[in-house]
Amino acid sequence: MNGLRDQDRLDEAFNFVIWKARILAILDKPRIEDYALKTVAVPVDPDANEKYEEAMAKVKCMILDGVKDHVIPHIAKKNTAREMWQMLTTLYQSSFVQRKMLLENQLRSYQMQKGKEIDHFLLRLQAICDQLTFVGSTPDLEFMVSTALNAVSEDWETFVQSILGRATLPSWEEMWATLR
């Protein structure tokens, strides 16, 4: 109904920000996002009330269709789309602090395993960086370079020493290009 692929549905806190942006874009097209974001007064006029009920049902269906099955019990019995939205925000947005702390710790402690490909290692670091960006904490790229240089396996020690011998560290993109 809402055009989301299964992998785009709200699953856990890690994809809440992206999911929220997608759902709001979907709700914006027919101009019904206010039903989720604000308290909309129930009209007294029968014709206006019919339009209200239709729009409210549509938004509730779009929200339900946009979440994975295990999320539905948390919101299914809510009376309005606004109540559903608030519940999802309470469940998933509040855990950003914990998610951010976990990801920052993963970034600091991630180590390249001996014998592993450098591409796999850099892609994993980039994935952690991307997840941090999704929770609102984009790591400094200079920090990313330092982290990568400190985390590569012994096999790359010569490369690390050559980088550290430079006057300035390369950018994240330059490091990728050099290592690949």
Quick one: 13 exposed, middle or buried, by C-beta within 10 A (0-12, 13-18, 19+)?
middle
Residue 150 and residue 140: Cα distance in Å, rounded? Answer: 15
Percent of the chain having pLDDT more than 90? 38
Question: How would residue 29 be classed by pLDDT, with cut points 50, 70 and 90?
Answer: confident
Residue 66 and residue 118: Cα distance in Å, rounded? Answer: 37
Residue 163 and residue 121: Cα distance in Å, rounded? Answer: 18
Residue 134: is its pLDDT beyond 80? no
Which pLDDT belongs to residue 133?
Answer: 84
The full DSSP string for the chain is -----GGGSB-SGGGHHHHHHHHHHHHHTTT-THHHHSPPPPPSSHHHHHHHHHHHHHHHHHHHHTB-GGGHHHHTT-SSHHHHHHHHIIIIITTHHHHHHHHHHHHHH--PPTT--HHHHHHHHHHHHHHHHHTT-PPPHHHHHHHHHHHS-GGGHHHHHHHHTSSSPPPHHHHHHHH-
The answer to whether the beta carbons of residues 4 and 22 sit under 8 Å apart is: yes
Residue 2: is its pLDDT beyond 70? no
Q: How many residues does the chain have?
A: 180
Which pLDDT belongs to residue 65?
Answer: 93
Which pLDDT belongs to residue 14?
Answer: 65
Is the pLDDT higher at 30 or at 112? 112
Residue 43: is its pLDDT beyond 90? yes
Residue 108 and residue 178: Cα distance in Å, rounded? Answer: 22
Residue 173: is its pLDDT beyond 80? yes
Question: How would residue 77 be classed by pLDDT, with cut points 50, 70 and 90?
Answer: very high
